[in-house]
Structure formats: C-alpha cells, structure tokens
Structure 1
Amino acid sequence: MAAQISDEIMPEGISPPNSTTCGQIPLEQPPKLKGRQKFLQNLQRMSSSPTLARRARSASTSGLRREHKASLSCVSLSSTAYSPCLGNGSSSQLYGGLNPRPATPGCSGSPGEFQGSNLRPRLVDTDGPSGPLPRTVPLPSDVRPASRGSPRTGTPVGIRMEEIVLPESEPVKTFDFWGDMPRELKMEVFQHLTPQEIVRCSAVSKAWNEMCYDGQLWSKVDTTEYYSKIPSDVLVKLITSGGPFVRDLNLRGCIQMRDKWSSDGERMSDLCRNVVNFSLEGCRIDKPSIYSFLLRNPRLENINVSGLSSVTNSAMKVIARSCPQLETLNVSWCNNVDSSGLLRIVQSCERLKDLRASEIRGFGNEKFTLALFKRNSLERLIMSRTDLTDQSLKMLIHGKDPNVDLLTNRPVVPPRLFRHLDLHQCAEITDDGLKSLAHNVPDLEGLQVSQCSELTDSSIIDIIQTTPKLSHLEMEDLENLTNSVLVELAKASCAQHLEHLNVSYCESLSDTGMLQVMKSCPNLRSVEMDNTRVSDLTLMEASFRIRKRGYSDDLPEVGLRLVIFDCANVTWAGVKEVLSSNAYVPRASRKPTSTVVTVTQTSDAGSSPMTSTYVTPSSTPPPSSTSPNEIIQLKCFYGWQMTVDEHTKRVLRGDLAAASRLDRKWADYMMATEEAGAAGAGARRRRRRAREAERLYNADEDENDAYGIGAITALGGRRRRAQSGGSCTVM
C-alpha cells in the first residue's frame, strides 16, 4: 500500500485522485463513525515477530517473505493519533476483501471484487514522512480496561454492558441514644424518678423541661415527703401541668399554698377535673377553693379534710350532691362539722365504707346512728372522743325496736359489716352499750375501747368470744380490767389471729394472764404492757416463744415489740434474758449414726468360729444456722434503753459476737453497780469493782484485740466465773 500524501506536496502534473475511486482518500473529512464501525476502523495488523520492527527498509520494497509471514496473533486496540481510513485501497488490500462495506459513500468497490482472486495481504510501509509510523492500534478508551472509579464514555455495539451502581458513601451518623428514643419510652424513664428528681431534671434544657412537666408524669401528686421543701409556685405548676391527668392529689401540710388558693385556686380546680383521691389535711384553704374542687370532680372516692376550720356543713352538703361515688371521708377535728352535715352524706353516698369523725359533735343524735344502721355499708367507723351514748350505740348496732329472740334474748338483726371500730375515750360508754356488739360484728378485726373507764371484764369477754377474726385489741387505761380477760383471750378462737395487744396502765394485770397470752398467741407482733404488774417471767416466756420461730442464714427481723417501761417487777435480769436470747444461736444438733464392727472369735477346741457384731455410735454435725429469724425489740427503763438499742442494732446487722460481748459487759456492770450500792463490810472493794466494771463497759471493745476485752471470742473464749443467779448444768 502506498503511503498517504497530502495534496499540498503533490506534483503539478498529477491531478488529485478522484474521491469516488475506490482506495483513495476523500478530500473532505469523512463523517465521524460510531459504535461498531468505529471499532473496526481502528483495527490494524501488527506482526508477532519482533524482527519486523527492526527492519531498515520498507516492507513494500522487499515484498512478502515466506519465511516471515505476518499473522493476526497480536492485535492492539489502543487509540492513537494515526487513524487509517477503511475505505481506501490499502484497506481493501490489507484485509483482502474482508471489509463488509465501504467506509465512504463514494467507494465503488464491493466485497465481491476480490472474491475468486487468490491475493495474499502484504504489509504496508512502516515509514512515514515524519518518521516511522506506529505498528499497533490501541484499544478504544471506552472498552479499555480501566482502574476503579474511572468513567465509561460508551459501550460497543453488540456488547451488553451492565452498569454496577455503587451506593454513595454516606457520612458516619453519630448514635444519639436519648435523641433517637421515642417519646413514650422517655416518659417511661421519667416515671421511675421521684418528684424531687423530676423537678431537678427540668432545669437541664427546654426539651427536658417540657417533658418533666408533662401531665403523664403527674397523675399522682403526693407531697407527703416534700411538702415543707417545695415552693408554692412549683407546686402550682405541677398541679396545672398535670391537669386532667391528676388522679391522686395529696397536699397534706402545704401551708405555703395559703396565698395561692385565692389567686390560682379557680384555675387549678378548672384544670383538675378527674381527681379520685383528694387530701387537704392541715392546709390553709378558703371555702370557695374547696367548693370548686368538690363541684368539678364528681369522680371523687376518697376525701380527707381533717383539721380544716374552713370545712363546714355546707361543704358536706356539696359532697353529698356532687360526689356519689364517695367511699372514704375523713372529717376528724373539723370544728364546724357535726352529725347533721354527716347525715346528708350517709343518706346520699351509697358506697360509703370508711367514715372517720373523731371529735365530731352530735353522735348522741339517734337519728344519725339510725341512718348508719340502715345504710349498713361501713367497714371502718372512727368516733373517738365524741359524745356517743349507750343508747346511740345500741341504735347503731340493733336499730330501732328490733325483734328479740326468746331463747337467747338477743335482737335479731342483720350482722354489721364493721371491721374496725374505734370508740376510745368515749366517756359515756358502759358495759350496757358495749355488749350490743357481741354476736353482731362477726368480721371485726380491730377494736379500740381505751380510756373508757366504765368498762369491765363482762363486756370485753363477750366481744372476745364472738369475734373470731379479732387481730388488734386496745384496752389501755381500763382500771377495772383483770387477768380474767387475758385468760379468756388466750382461750378464744381469735388467739391464733391476735397480732397487737395494748393493756398499758391496766394495773391489775400480771403474769397470770400475760403468760397465757404469750403461750397461746403465736402471731403476736406488738404487746404494750407498761405500768402493769408483769415481771421477768413474762419476758422469759416471750423470749422462748420467739426462739421457737426458728433460725436461718438470713439477717434477723423484729418479730415482737414489747413495751415494758415503768413496770416495777421487771428487773435488769429480765432485760438481759431478752438480749441474750436475741443473740443466741443453738449448737448444731448431732445426728447419731451407727458403725458396725464385726469380731470373730475362735475357740481352742477347734470348734467353729464365733462371730459377734457390735454397733458403735458416731456423730457428724449438720450445717448450723447463723442467726435467729426474729428477735424482740424492747422499750424499757430509760436508763437501760441506750444499751438495749445498741444491742438490737448489732443483732439486726448480723454481728452476734459483738452483741454477745455487749450483753456480758452490761451484765458485769449491772452486777458491780448493785454490789457497790450494798452496805456493810467490803463496801470499798465493791465500789472499786463497780468503777472498774464501768470503765470496761465504756471502753472501746475493739481497742486491744478483735474479740473484745480479755480476748473473749464469739463462742465464749476463756473460762469465766459463774455469774450470780446462773443455773447449773448437769453434764
């Protein structure tokens, strides 16, 4: 193939070749090819033999040598500045008729022109006017293997390229635990905080302030623990923020709200319309604010307005009209309320179960007690320090003109539902009125008849024998009470349920009755018997019964509380017995086991051997407990109370060794003190011993050694002399 020559350097006599002639370069720039045509246009031959590149002469002059035939084994598809035209003659000559169609419209050649001719392709000149021409054709840039991330300019025709779209790299998102949390979960977290903590959290940010004063957190506003610390403005904000969510509103003792009721009382009552439990005990509130709350909260079930002088019979009238679901009403110590106001509530509120009306006038009104009898829905009735009379109490229990059973001479009436009845300090009550409770209050659990000085054994015994569920009994300051009541109490069916007994200032009671109670009442939790004639025997029996409740590895708890101060027959020895019992852990019981020993004996006469079997006992101690399950808490003579309290603290924290050391040191001190007070020979020596005992008692027991003074260990340590009054153990 001849080299390409531009028309600028052609000789004058030679005319430019015709553009329509096949194999000639057109004068005009051919149209830009695309796709498959562009791909085929850039194909060229290159020799696989590197010797062709080193030839000094043109390949066209030497012709095609048979020993170095060209091949198509190496084809380069890279782009270059040299772009031969596939429509010229050299192209047809190079490919030998393989060109499917002419590259230019004016080419008259056809693929059939070279059919039938046995032409071999020849190599074109490798030298150009400006130097040697490249022998390879690189791949087009659009199909060339590229590095990651380089853009593609096109896709060849016939080759389907699937574009892989890589996800765009997103910036690393920081994890905001609190910010991404749903609001419902945030409110759930805040609900586990105390009101004081929620108020403190409200100062963190505006968002937290909004959440802290959300009404969902303030469905219960109970200021019992912080009523003296919270300002009135914050308290008003809490109430108004809760609004319709507030169900329990307890403002007991919030006297700082005195000025806020007049300014914000109307707004608070207007927002809080779903209150169920409402308590204003000890508050200073005006009448309009009380009336607003009562009128706008028809769902009220529990109302406590005790001690408010602003509560009158008019407020009782409002409650009777606007609170039909009322169950509990506490109007104790309301000086401006009497039985006529309570009568409206009893007649209107059918669900009333708890009425607390201590120091309310008018209980002598039989009309009011008859209304209570007809209602018969009360389970708790507190009418202490009132003017209740025997006739009014009979009207409350039996009604008016009841039918009388001829055999038993008892009124035939439906049983009362009372479970707790408080009649203490009703001076006009006698046995005649109290006996009306017998056989008519089978569900009674708590009875208080303290300081009813006219009561005797007969009425109390009748009630004890007919109340099998009685668990709390208070008979304080009944001078006419004797041990017969305690004996009957120990025999009654309620002895198994009795938990609290108060017989203080009943000076006729002694160990005769209390010992029976201690033996027969296993569930006792509190016994108040100060200013009685009980002695150390009762304390010893109580200690024995508490030890019967068992031992374990857990820390002990207070199982029985005894009040015995000002009991003349109780000495320090009885108190010491209680302290020793609290810190006492019995030795592990040994389980005897048998060991079989076989002995074979042979006689001299050659007779058959004799076998004897002996059983020898052996013992292996089982695992022992570390502390008692329950102990006794004492309230005794004030001079001993500090020692008793310290001993109880050590036992409750499980330090029985320290408690035992304190018990022994206190006993030594008390013995030395008693000896020092005795007259006669040896008084100086006894006083010296008393001072030494006091010094040891007040000394730091851990100053010299870990086991206390004298290296007394928890198990007793070294031998000690027997104390006076001790018992002898027979081995």
Structure 2
Amino acid sequence: MQTPSLVEETVNEELPGVTQPEGPIKGKRRQRLLQGIQRISSSSSLQQLKRSRTSQSPYANRGSLSCVSLSGHHSPFAQYPSGAASPGYLAHTSPGTPTTEYANFEDIETRRAVRKLAHGSSPCLVPNSIALPAELVTNRTRRAPYEFWAKMPDEIRVHILSFLEPKELVRMSVLSKEFHKYCFDGQLWTNFDATDFYKDIPGASLAKIITAAGPFVKDLNLRGCVQVEHEKKTEVIVKACRNLVNATLEGCRNLPGATLHSLIKANERLANLNLTGLPVVSNSTCKIISQHCPQLESFNVSWCKSMDAKGIRMVVLGCPKLRDLRAGEIRGFDNIEVAKSIFETNRLERLVLSGCTELNDQILQTMIHGIKPPVDILTDRPIVPARKLRHLDLSRCKNLTDRGVGAIAHLMPDLEGLRLSGCNAITDSPLEKIVASTPRLTHLELEDLAELTNGFLSKHLAKAPCASKLEHLSVGYCESISDTGMIPVIKSCTNLKNIEMDNTRIGDLVLAEASAMVRSRAARSSTYEARPYVGLRLVVYDCSLVSWTGIREVLSWNAEIRQPSGTTPTYPTEIIGLKCLYSWQQTVDQHTQRVLRGDFLAAGRLERKWADYMQANEEAGLSGAGVRRRRRRAREAQQLHADEEGAGAGRRRARTMASSCAIM
C-alpha cells in the first residue's frame, strides 16, 4: 500500500470534501491539481511546507537575476500566473508573503529557455519589468572632450600662428577675442612686410597692426603704401616703432616730412634704410640720419629729387659703418668735396651712381685716386690704398670717358660687379685693363656701347683671369659684336648663366656653341623622374642673323635622350632658356615647359613638327614650279603644329570626327 504524498495530504487537508482515488493521479487531474495549488500558493497554511534552498542552486541569493517580467504576454513565463514561478526558479512575492520553490517538472512542455545576460548589461526592459540593482549597473558616462587649444602653453600657440601669412592672421583675428589677442601678439609681427597686400589694406588697419606690434617690429617694409598719409595715423606708427633695424619706405610718397624725421630719431639702431623716391627726403633728412643713425650700413635715396650730393656727403661722414650707398639720379655729383669724402673714408663696398649725369672724369678719378696722389714712375700708376668696392654701377653716366673709367683698373681687386651700360663714349682701351686686374669679376654689363668691338671679347675677355668665374654678360645693342667675338667668350667662360646679346650681329653658330658648352659642363641623369633646370639663359631677340635652325639646335639639345645600344637611357639635367623672336617665342616656351616637367618625348615631337612647319614655310615662299604644292604642305605643317601646341583642340576634334564620318 502506497503512502500518500505530501501534496495529496495537503489537498485532503485543505479540501475536505474531495475524495482521493487509490491509484496514481492521471494527467488531466494532475493539471487541475496544479492549478488549484497555484490558487492557494499564498495561503498561510503552507508556511510549514517551506524548506531551505539547496546549496547547489546558482540563484541562492535574492536579486541575482537581471530581471523578472511580470507581464503575461511579453514574458517567457507567461503560462504561469503572476503568483507562481517558472519551474526551477524562485517566485518573488510581495513583502510578508512566504516564498515557495517547486521542483523541476519532467514534462518537456513546461521547460523554458534560460535568459542569458552579456557582461552584466541589462536587456531592453518592457513595461512592468525589474531592472538590475544600482550597484551592478556600469557607469558609462561620456568623458568631456579634451580642450587642446585652451590648455596649450602660450608659447606654443604663438609658435603655431607664426607659420601663417599676415593676411591669414588678420582674417583669423575676427573669430573670437581670444584669437584676436594672439593674432596681434607682437612676437608674430617682428617682420612686417606689406609687399603682398599693400594695395588692399586700409590705412587704419595698417596703423592698428603696427600699433599693436610696434615694440616688437624690427623689419618694417611699407613699400608702396601710399595710404600712409594722415598725420594721426603716421604719428601712431612713429610712437609705436622704437626698435627698427630694417626700414623700407619706398614709394610712400604721401608720408609727411616731420613724421619721417621723428621715425629716424626714434630708431637709433637702424642698419638698413630705403627711402627710394620719397619727395620729402632732403639734405636736412640726411643730416638727421648722420646724427642719429650711427649703425647705418645700407642707405638708398635713389630718385629723391629734393636732395643733392651734399646730403650724401653728410651721411658718408656721419655713419662710420656705411657699406652700401645707392644714389641713382641724384644731382650735384660735380662737387669735388663729395668725391673727396668717399675717397678718404674708403668704406663703401657697393656704390650705385646710375643716371648721375653730372658725374665726370675728374670726380670719378678723385673718388678712386684722391687729389694729386703720388705716382709710381715704373708703372705710371697712383700709389694709393686699394678700394674696397665690390659692386660699382656707373650706367647712364654719359659724361664719363676712357680717362675716368680707366681709373678703376688695378685699384679694385675685389670688384665682382661692374655696370657701364649707356656710357657711349667708352672704348675697348679702359675695359682691357679693368678685366685684366679684376680676377673676381662675375657680372659685367656693357650694354649699348657703340665702340665695343669683337677684339675686346676674343682677345681680352676670353683670356682674362675672371673668365672662369664670369656668370653674367650683357652686350646688347652693341651692333659691332658678332660670332667672331662671342664664340671665344662662350668657349672660355664655361660658368656663364646669363648672356644678353639682343640687337647684335650674332648668328646660329653662337647658339650651337652655347649648346655644346652646356652639354660639356652638365652631367646627365639615368633617372627618368629627375627634372632638369634652366642653367643658361640666352637673350637673342632682334638678331637678324639668327634663324630657326639655330633655335632648333637649342631645342633639340634640351630634349635629347641618349641611349647607346645595350645601355640605360640618360636624360639632361641642365637646359638652355631662350628668349628669341616674338613669333617663335610661344613655341620655345611650350617646348621648355614640357622639358622642365620631364615630358621629353612630347618636347621632341613638338620640335620636329615645328621644324617641318618652318621648312614648309620657306619652301612656300620660293617661286617657280611646285608653288601650290609647297604652299599646301605649309598649311598642313601649320595645322599639325597648332594641334601639337594645343591651340586648335576643338578644330582637331572636329577634323577627326569629319574624317571618321568620311571613312564610315
């Protein structure tokens, strides 16, 4: 006889009118029994049936589940009433109500999947759900962004802004007050150069910038700033700038004289001062400079019409460090006292007197020899200290002759640049002595010397000590110069970088010799990516003996690719820049651009088609049989040449489409 189970006894106890069958409980009766038990699960009569949880239960502590849904249609435990728990789980009840745990049922219909949690995160909760405890919820508050610019040191901010151009700094200053403060920091304006924006900036803005950065400004360039005219604005600039070292006021023609004098007096450390073309500069200005600028090294007063050579004398005597003096087109250089002061000081390394028409032979000899110097009886040369001049510009001084220019010879051993262009009375004689006694000469300009001959170039300049160092030679408008004089010079002066031979009688042989000279001195590269540079510039326009064959010789060398059999091809590294006849210049420029970007094949193709075009033009100009045929070839060559230059891209496309339609 089977002993009744605990559940059956409980049912008999709570339901006295129910008769219990002897056999086992059937399936339907079991379901009805479970439903009845669920209805009475909260009864106080079942408190004695409570037993402790097993130690193997993974849910021994309360609140260990992430959430338990209390909604019937959303929860996976919807088959159970709100008061009952799913099989194998603890039923959470209201406070004061005993909790009951039921054993797992074996029926497969009653099993439910276990809800899995990922890293303790709470799933999406539905209404009437219980969230995780506060101590288990991870705090995922987003960290505030790092204020990089605000926490950066001021020195680094200023250093970053120092890479901006002045126009960019002014634009950035309107972003905020903070940027305005840093953009107008004086450390950013130690070098104020208005060359790029002098036409656009108003006078008020210019005064504001200089006022903000005045104590820091050392290099001030206001070239062309005509808006600096109002007295109040200029006074602000003068009061702000107290530490100038380099000042350029060229072209500020509206600058008041009193303001200029105040600026000079306030900056005693001025080393370079450029007052070119200012009408307010006078001898009084030069006197103030001589008294207040003892550190002055460079002084430029060219084209200042309100002063004369007496002001130059004050500056030369009052500034012991003066090395560079530029006084082009200044009146009064017929004064012997001015020449004497230049001779006695002997400090100048650059002297520019271009356009000083009053300069004559006596004044120039006094500047170099002094007054009545002792003479060496063997060489017939004055015994005086050598001059320190390195650059001398006497161009357009038309009163100079061979006697005055000859004084330069043997007394300027450090001379590097000499300009005598426009001195029409000079012949070969003084120049022969000068080039023989100046071994460091690199720049020689003899433009528009009608008496210059081929003998000076071939017999003296080509054999002079300075031949290997000569870089710049200008003999333009010397109508007596031809191939006879220039070819020996090009052969000997292998370091030439610029030759100006316009309006002379040179021919194609000079261009061929220049190409050979560059070919011999320039190394070649086996790397296709290497880009050449212009190493020699030739100016040969308006030369009647220069033909297109000589131009082609230069273009052919510029784009030459050498590839001997079985070896790696080599490419030029140095080419010739050419300025020739106007009608050929566009082709030459296109060819040079292609060579400079490394497209040698396209450059060679352009050169060949241009040669065909020029040859067809020559044939078309001849008379006799075949005139129409030659003219047709000329037109075809001209079309091909225009196509290669890209000028007739639309016409070329139209012609291509027309020919395709004709073939179709």
Q: Which category of TM-score, normalised to the shorter sequence, fits these structures?
A: 0.7 to 0.9
Alignment partner of 1:214 is 2:161: no
> Cα offset for 1:264?
2.0
Which residue matches 1:647?
A: 591
- Count how many residue pairs are aligned between Structure 1 and Structure 2: 507
Opposite residue 524 of structure 2, the aligned amino acid is Y
Task: Return the alpha-carbon distance in structure 2 between the equivalents of residues 384 and 700 of structure 1.
Answer: 46
Going from structure 1 to structure 2, the CA distance change for 1:222 and 1:701 (only over 3 Å counts) comes to: closer
1:580 to 542, 556, 560: 556
* 1:498-553 alpha-carbon deviations (Å, 9 max, x no partner): 01000001111111111111111111110000111110000001111112212123
In terms of Rg, which structure is larger?
1
Going from structure 1 to structure 2, the CA distance change for 1:169 and 1:450 (only over 3 Å counts) comes to: same
Task: Return the alpha-carbon distance in structure 2 between the equivalents of residues 511 and 561 of structure 1.
Answer: 18
TM normalised by structure 1 equals: 0.68
Alignment partner of 1:667 is 2:611: yes
> Cα offset for 1:212?
0.3
1:350 to 303, 320, 334: 320
Task: Return the alpha-carbon distance in structure 2 between the equivalents of residues 704 and 316 of structure 1.
Answer: 61
* 1:578-628 alpha-carbon deviations (Å, 9 max, x no partner): 11110012224x6xxxxxxxxxxxxxxxxxxxxxxxxxxxxxx44333x31
1:682 to 616, 626, 631: 626
Going from structure 1 to structure 2, the CA distance change for 1:482 and 1:703 (only over 3 Å counts) comes to: closer
SS at structure 2 position matched to 1:491? coil
Which residue matches 2:493?
A: 521
Going from structure 1 to structure 2, the CA distance change for 1:678 and 1:362 (only over 3 Å counts) comes to: same
Task: Return the alpha-carbon distance in structure 2 between the equivalents of residues 275 and 169 of structure 1.
Answer: 59
Counterparts of 1:445-460 in structure 2 under 5 Å? Answer: 445-460=416-431
* 1:169-213 alpha-carbon deviations (Å, 9 max, x no partner): 998453122111101000001111111111111111110010000
Counterparts of 1:121-520 in structure 2 under 5 Å? Answer: 172-259=143-230, 262-283=231-252, 284-386=254-356, 387-487=358-458, 488-520=460-492
Opposite residue 624 of structure 2, the aligned amino acid is G
Over the residues paired in the alignment, what is the CA RMSD in angstroms?
Answer: 2.0
SS at structure 2 position matched to 1:463? helix
Going from structure 1 to structure 2, the CA distance change for 1:703 and 1:469 (only over 3 Å counts) comes to: closer
Going from structure 1 to structure 2, the CA distance change for 1:569 and 1:179 (only over 3 Å counts) comes to: same
Task: Return the alpha-carbon distance in structure 1 between the equivalents of residues 641 and 387 of structure 2.
Answer: 58
SS at structure 1 position matched to 2:635? helix
Opposite residue 361 of structure 2, the aligned amino acid is D
Opposite residue 445 of structure 1, the aligned amino acid is E
Which residue matches 1:155?
A: none
SS at structure 2 position matched to 1:669? helix
Task: Return the alpha-carbon distance in structure 1 between the equivalents of residues 402 and 328 of structure 2.
Answer: 21
Which residue matches 2:577?
A: 633
Unaligned 5+ runs, structure 2: 1-47, 49-138, 654-664
C-alpha contact (below 8 Å) 2:587/2:645 kept by paired residues? no
SS at structure 2 position matched to 1:651? helix
C-alpha contact (below 8 Å) 2:348/2:389 kept by paired residues? yes
SS at structure 2 position matched to 1:411? coil
Task: Return the alpha-carbon distance in structure 1 between the equivalents of residues 561 and 352 of structure 2.
Answer: 45
Opposite residue 528 of structure 1, the aligned amino acid is E
Opposite residue 272 of structure 2, the aligned amino acid is N
C-alpha contact (below 8 Å) 2:273/2:299 kept by paired residues? yes
> Cα offset for 1:701?
7.5
Task: Return the alpha-carbon distance in structure 1 between the equivalents of residues 153 and 159 of structure 2.
Answer: 10
Which residue matches 1:544?
A: 516
Going from structure 1 to structure 2, the CA distance change for 1:199 and 1:682 (only over 3 Å counts) comes to: same
Task: Return the alpha-carbon distance in structure 2 between the equivalents of residues 479 and 378 of structure 1.
Answer: 31
SS at structure 1 position matched to 2:544? coil
Counterparts of 1:61-72 in structure 2 under 5 Å? Answer: none
Task: Return the alpha-carbon distance in structure 2 between the equivalents of residues 663 and 581 of structure 1.
Answer: 11
Opposite residue 280 of structure 1, the aligned amino acid is L
TM normalised by structure 2 equals: 0.74
SS at structure 2 position matched to 1:493? coil
Going from structure 1 to structure 2, the CA distance change for 1:314 and 1:631 (only over 3 Å counts) comes to: same
Task: Return the alpha-carbon distance in structure 1 between the equivalents of residues 167 and 349 of structure 2.
Answer: 36
> Cα offset for 1:702?
8.8
* 1:308-359 alpha-carbon deviations (Å, 9 max, x no partner): 1111111111101111111111000000110111111111100000000000
Task: Return the alpha-carbon distance in structure 2 between the equivalents of residues 196 and 702 of structure 1.
Answer: 37
Task: Return the alpha-carbon distance in structure 2 between the equivalents of residues 702 and 509 of structure 1.
Answer: 38
Task: Return the alpha-carbon distance in structure 1 between the equivalents of residues 577 and 444 of structure 2.
Answer: 20
Query: Which range is displaced more, 270-279 or 695-704?
Result: 695-704
Counterparts of 1:110-121 in structure 2 under 5 Å? Answer: none
1:558 to 530, 534, 553: 534
SS at structure 1 position matched to 2:499? strand
Task: Return the alpha-carbon distance in structure 1 between the equivalents of residues 300 and 345 of structure 2.
Answer: 18
Alignment partner of 1:623 is 2:575: no
Task: Return the alpha-carbon distance in structure 1 between the equivalents of residues 540 and 349 of structure 2.
Answer: 33
SS at structure 2 position matched to 1:384? coil
Which residue matches 1:530?
A: 502
Which residue matches 2:640?
A: 696
Opposite residue 243 of structure 2, the aligned amino acid is N
Task: Return the alpha-carbon distance in structure 2 between the equivalents of residues 629 and 515 of structure 1.
Answer: 23
Task: Return the alpha-carbon distance in structure 2 between the equivalents of residues 271 and 695 of structure 1.
Answer: 65
Task: Return the alpha-carbon distance in structure 1 between the equivalents of residues 400 and 263 of structure 2.
Answer: 38
Matched-pair identity in %: 51
Opposite residue 628 of structure 2, the aligned amino acid is R
